[in-house]
Structure 1
Amino acid sequence: MFDLGRSFLASAERSPDAAALVDGDVRLTYAGWMDKVLRIVGAFDDLGLKRGDCVATALQNTWEMATIHWACQMAGIMVAPLNWRVKAEELDFILPNASARLIVFQDVSADAVAGSAAASALPQVTVGDGRAGSATHFSRLLENRPAAASPRAGADDLSLLLYTSGTTGKPKGVPRRHRAERAAAVAHVAQNRYAFAERTLGVMPLYHTMGVRSLLSMALIDGRFACLPRFDAAEALRLIEREKLTCLYLVPTLYHDLLAHPRFAETDISSVRKLGFAGAPMTDGLIRRVERAFRPELFVNHYGSSEVYTFTINQKAASKPGAAGKAALNQRIRVIKLGSSDPEALAALGEEGQIVADLAGDEAFEGYLNRPDADAKSLHAGWYFTGDTGSFDADGDLFVTGRVDDMIITGGENVSPVEVENVLSLCDGVLEVAVAGLPDERWGQKVVAFIRRGSGIDAEALDAHCRTSGLANFKRPREYVFLDEVPKSPVGKILRRKLQAGEYRLESGSS
């Protein structure tokens, strides 16, 4: 089986003059990009890095970050891409955990690197105009003679080390092998029906599964990766129009922001024919707005994780909103009874349970890095326990209803926040919605809806909408809180824990 280095080399041999990478004024063909990749491999050699070592990065989506990713694949080095917002204390945990031998950073992550004892003990490379200190500038690495175009990794070597968000406790390292990464990229191409020379927006972070999927899949099909270091709706629209991008793979929040931008109506988006989303559920209301705006040939809902990548896909997201679909090409999925650790304890059709995935799938990881406690919680009898809740409908489509820990239990009844969010999203005037359970003396928890609204909508109108929607009475929100902004993670996931902790800003003028 090909490793990823060979995959990239094959694309450079097949289409050397094709445009491969765009980042501002930087435009690289596959041949030109391969030259830079091999120069970085040569620089790794000079720094004493060996096959099997680990390079950590704290970078935005720049051509340098994408180049380092591919250089690591060629050199047989595992790359550990970290959130560029990483804190010094996180580096002090992650870098020793990953056995990192080098850290690459830029201005936005310079303070964290400077404040980390673990980072200070490593050789450092800086990108862009950031404070260099004793670090070597990335441009110096490019002065090296190119290494031989001879991939050093095998399919079973480690390619990538992703760290989960760590919303509770320490982040967990997810090591992934070349064969799993390549299988996931090939499946992504097939499931999105990508053709040769597609062009995508490279804005999903390269420390996140979605960013890595976009980078690898474009390379497999000799496509173009248009870097956007940090999401900006106006710049994203400009890139879509200028580069004639053909496909988008984004979290729902970014679709919302694109549609809401004043320049959307005047931007030529006609080149975009294939849409995909993942990372969080897309409300029914937003799905309808995206479908009307883009009129895509294909609109795919991807459901997955860092550990196993794609669990299920729904290639007709607009025709069956909310459905995560059926098991992906490399996967088997089950829903088991809540509270069980037995993958054979199947939930009944329509019954809400925990979603589990077969660890024998080609895209699956094999366990967390140095975290037997996490393995004991999530891995049982050859299955990965996702921590997500859901159910199958009569058509065999999976509906993801939330997290086991997010389930609201009110008066002894289970309420899925996602179900209530979908109902509220269809109410005119609701721009964004998040639902969480807050403590209540009588009911244990009460359903509370946090709303970012447009004009002409209030709590009375929202309650009337819920009463006529078919939503069960016990699922109706008992309180509506209006916010300036719904708290979300860097990749657009609703942070319900912040809502429950009161960590939000009320709508201007509210009290």
Structure 2
Amino acid sequence: MTHTFGAHLTAGATEAGSRTALVFENRSWTYAELDRAVRRTVARLDKSGVRRGDRVVMQGAARPEALITLFAVTRMGAVLVPLHPQATGGELAVVCEETEPTAVVADEKFPAGAGLRLTWEELHPEDDGPEAPDCDPPAGSDVAVIAFTSGTSGRPKGVALTHDNLHWSMANGLARLPFGEDDTVLVSTPLAHVAVLGGLPQYTWARRGTVILAPRFDPDLFIDLVRDHQVTCAFAVPAMSALLARHPRFADGDLDSLRWILSGGSPAQTATREQFRARGIGVVNSYGLTETAAGVTYSAPDEPAASTGSPVPHVELVVVDATGSPAPASTSGEIWVRGPSVAAEYWTARGPVPVTDAEGWFHSGDRGRLDTEGRLEVVGRVKDTIITGGENVDPAEVENALADLPGVVEVAVSGTPDPIWGEVVTAFLVSDAGEPSLDDVRTHLDGRLARHKWPRRLRVVPALPRGATGKLQRQRLTTLLDD
């Protein structure tokens, strides 16, 4: 059976054509109108010379034309390569070197790249234009999207996600997340994020719900859109959730329609999660990566705050020790994932590079532990573990314990070199209420964490280093000590 990405949108146009599929600012599209827009874009891409198997680099701007382009490129059997809208010329050069695109779709301010350049206005003119005729769908094993990882260091890697990968990712999300055709979902993250390519908006369209697309994330705009469109569900990385929880309007009635927020990238910190719970909004933690085409675990809103939930139906997940053997329950180790949503290859100019081992396991590089009920808690990166005086310390555990320190807006923890201890636990805090002292931090942690996990160094900083998608760049933390 062929699992063409976008088949859920085509089915929606046939079965629920008059329902509202997408809203952006003052315009909306029904399922039938959105499908027609995709057909017209296929025709324009074909006329421009794009063919099956060609790569099309696209600036991942938060605009409806980008979503339409995503469906058009993949429907015609070409391969979409989405980039963050703030990508630099150097980043674009790496992507073009690796993928050799036939075309780049972007606005005029986006850096120039290799291949044919198409602006949004050229690809999506105001006149309707002809629609592409039906064509043979791509095979499930064909690559649909090459999503470049937002790694914290080194050369980014292009994850080759097939139509099958994206189909099974959607099947996993639909099996676990509690929503249906009457839900309205808000998307306010860059469209190059895997949570958009294989995540919540795709699940929403499969259920015939409505997606509200925000042009950017801004707490005031987010709250306005929830109020104006009676949004019921939304996706947010933890930094976004924390900003919302601290906003003066958070307690107002404007968010009353919001039932739950899906937290991706890392679990929402305990303090933020409790603020949402007190407000009557559930937080669904998830664990997933670009290589797994979005989520492989989802929690229930009433699960322990640190839990990311149990594995979805079409995924195998194990936590292994240093020998590759399954670790006992509640013991941390590396998270391995296997299943049809897991990519098989990284795309490079030199040819494909395997993502998985010979038995199909993806070694995530993340540390986690499974409790006795099979629920996953993510505790950090394997390489991020701090070894201080011979004791292992997980930065995420210390960060979670410091998240509700009075005045703290954001917190990150890292190991910094020390001639006696090897490394010492170092806390980096963003505060909106003066500068907490190391004694304040230790008093707060007394009774919460063992003493060897307490920070020995503290730096209050104006902001934490984050990548384009909001992911903490932990390797850059130590540079803040020199500021």
Q: TM-score range by the shorter chain?
A: over 0.9
Whole-Å separation in 2 of the counterparts to 1:377 and 1:216:
24
| Secondary structure in 2 matching 1:451 | strand
Choose the corresponding residue for 1:467, options 438, 446, 455. 446
Q: Counterpart of 1:174 in structure 2: which amino acid?
A: V
**What's 2:77 paired with?**
76
1:230-287, CA deviations, whole angstroms, 9 ceiling, x for partnerless residues? 2111111111111111111211111111222233333522221132111123211111
| Secondary structure in 1 matching 2:68 | helix
**What's 1:27 paired with?**
28
Whole-Å separation in 1 of the counterparts to 2:351 and 2:279:
46
**What's 2:115 paired with?**
122
Q: How does 1:398-413 map to 2 (within 5 A)?
A: 398-413=376-391
Choose the corresponding residue for 1:214, options 164, 180, 200. 200
Verify: 1:357 aligned to 2:337, yes or no. yes
Whole-Å separation in 2 of the counterparts to 1:70 and 1:376:
26
Q: Counterpart of 1:465 in structure 2: which amino acid?
A: H
**What's 1:396 paired with?**
374
Verify: 1:428 aligned to 2:400, yes or no. no
1:73-124, CA deviations, whole angstroms, 9 ceiling, x for partnerless residues? 32122111011111212222211312311101125x52x22xxxxx1x4111
Where structure 1 has 5 or more consecutive residues not aligned to the other structure, the ranges are 114-118, 129-136, 506-511
Where structure 2 has 5 or more consecutive residues not aligned to the other structure, the ranges are none
Would you say the 8 A contact 2:389–2:422 is kept in 1?
Answer: yes
| Secondary structure in 1 matching 2:443 | helix
Verify: 1:481 aligned to 2:467, yes or no. no
Verify: 1:334 aligned to 2:322, yes or no. no
Q: How does 1:61-460 map to 2 (within 5 A)?
A: 61-107=62-108, 109-110=109-110, 112-113=111-112, 119=113, 121-127=114-120, 137-140=122-125, 143-150=128-135, 152-212=137-197, 213-296=199-282, 299-310=283-294, 312-338=296-322, 340=323, 342=324, 345-358=325-338, 361-370=339-348, 375=353, 379-455=357-433, 457-460=436-439
Whole-Å separation in 2 of the counterparts to 1:207 and 1:503:
32
What's the % identity of the aligned pairs?
Answer: 28
CA change 1:53–1:380 in 2 (3 A) is same
Whole-Å separation in 2 of the counterparts to 1:48 and 1:387:
40
Please report how far the alpha carbon of residue 388 of structure 1 lies from its aligned counterpart in structure 2 after TM superposition: 0.4
RMSD of equivalent CA atoms: 2.3
| Secondary structure in 2 matching 1:419 | helix
| Secondary structure in 2 matching 1:22 | strand
Q: Which moved more, 1:221-230 or 1:404-413?
A: 221-230
Q: Counterpart of 2:272 in structure 1: which amino acid?
A: L
Between the two proteins, the alignment pairs up a number of residues equal to: 480
Please report how far the alpha carbon of residue 317 of structure 1 lies from its aligned counterpart in structure 2 after TM superposition: 4.4
Whole-Å separation in 2 of the counterparts to 1:75 and 1:228:
27
Would you say the 8 A contact 1:12–1:34 is kept in 2?
Answer: yes
1:397-452, CA deviations, whole angstroms, 9 ceiling, x for partnerless residues? 22211001111111111110001111111333322211011111111111011112
Please report how far the alpha carbon of residue 372 of structure 1 lies from its aligned counterpart in structure 2 after TM superposition: 8.4
Q: Counterpart of 2:239 in structure 1: which amino acid?
A: T
1:167-187, CA deviations, whole angstroms, 9 ceiling, x for partnerless residues? 222111111111221221122
Q: Counterpart of 1:348 in structure 2: which amino acid?
A: P
Whole-Å separation in 1 of the counterparts to 2:469 and 2:92:
20
CA change 1:3–1:379 in 2 (3 A) is same
Would you say the 8 A contact 1:300–1:313 is kept in 2?
Answer: no
Please report how far the alpha carbon of residue 374 of structure 1 lies from its aligned counterpart in structure 2 after TM superposition: 9.5
Would you say the 8 A contact 2:298–2:312 is kept in 1?
Answer: no
